[in-house]
Amino acid sequence: MIYLKSAEELERMRVACQITRDTLNLLEEKIRVGMTTKELDKIAYDYIIACGAKPGFLGLYGFPGSICVSIDEQVVHGIPSSSRVIEEGQIVSVDVGAFKNGYNGDAARTFCVGNITPEKKKLVEVTKQCFFEGIKDICVGSAIGDIGYQVQTYAESNGFSVVRAMTGHGIGAKLHEDPEVRNYGKKGTGIRLREGMTLAIEPMINMGTHEVIIDGWKCVTRDGLPSAHYENTVAITANGVEILTL
């Protein structure tokens, strides 16, 4: 079931989404070579709590961290660890959720640590742009399949591939709501977007094959090549798409 949000509900979501955005901005400032992913998790936890919110991921489906920290070939759902040290030249995808006043925010960024290869830099840049291509010209009445079509077209035109095993989703009082938001597909297919829909749109783009290996929380590229992640929570409004986590 798809839940359409009222103006009051959207305002509550904006608060949770702003905390999510600010957490990611703080983590971008703090991330450095030599720190552990657990240290990054602690920074996020402390900030979200200080904002009077709760980490949206902590304990969800049994997840043990406040954020997901996925490095290089890890696609998503990397568990923060005191033994995983961030190294020079890595790309680090950080997924953050904040829950406040009964509603969730959800967003992700891929950070470049130190000097990275040109290939990794292009992957990160293309993945970010995939999000903006996905929402380009989207409005009330658009087919949800247009989002995935536009993401896939842009990613593949740049020589990359789109993860199919993981998708975006609706979001609101629950972190994961209907509908599923694929990052691939055919133009003009799927449900039509309606005013009040709120979606987490999150391209996950691989340098090599789109195939991944999933084992519990583990989700890595099958060929071991890097993957990048970029996500925002958006609202479908009468005036188009409002990005709530920017």
Question: Does residue 137 sit within a domain?
Answer: yes
Question: Does residue 186 sit within a domain?
Answer: yes
**Res 185: pLDDT:** 94
Question: Does residue 2 sit within a domain?
Answer: no
Q: In the beta sheet, which residues pair with residue 105?
A: 98
Distance, CA of 13 to CA of 99 (rounded, Å): 9
**Res 169: pLDDT:** 98
Question: Does residue 1 sit within a domain?
Answer: no
What is the value of pTM for the model shown? Answer: 0.96
**What average pLDDT does this structure show over 97-105?**
98
- The per-residue pLDDT of the chain, averaged, comes to 98
Question: Does residue 61 sit within a domain?
Answer: yes
Question: Does residue 229 sit within a domain?
Answer: yes
Distance, CA of 199 to CA of 190 (rounded, Å): 15
Distance, CA of 175 to CA of 68 (rounded, Å): 14
Of 153, 127, 159, 156, whose CA–CA distance to 227 is shortest? 127
**Res 104: pLDDT:** 98
**CATH code for the domain of 172:** 3.90.230.10
E strands, 183-238, are 198-201, 204-206, 212-215, 218-221, 227-229, 232-237
| Percentages (nearest 5) of helix, strand, coil residues in the chain | 30, 30, 40
| DSSP designation for 116 | -
pLDDT confidence band for 220 (50 / 70 / 90):
very high
Number of domains in the chain: 1
Helix (H) or strand (E) holding 118, with range, is helix 118-135
- Name the pairing type of β-strands 218-221 and 168-170: unpaired
Q: What are the two backbone dihedrals, phi and then psi, of residue 186, each rounded to the nearest 5 degrees?
A: -110, 140
Longest dimension (CA), the chain: 48
Compute CA distances 191 → 130, 138, 181, whole Å. Answer: 21, 13, 10
Burial 160-186 (b: 16+ CB within 10 A, else e): bbbbbebbbbbbbeebebebebbbbbe
Do you know the residue count of the chain? 246
Domain of 48, in residue numbers: 7-243
The angle that helices 118-135 and 145-157 make with each other, rounded to 10 degrees, is 150
**What average pLDDT does this structure show over 161-178?**
98
Is residue 231 within 8 A of residue 180, CB to CB? The reply is no
Question: Does residue 169 sit within a domain?
Answer: yes
**Res 35: pLDDT:** 98
Residue 190 burial (C-beta neighbours within 10 Å; 0-12, 13-18, 19+)? buried
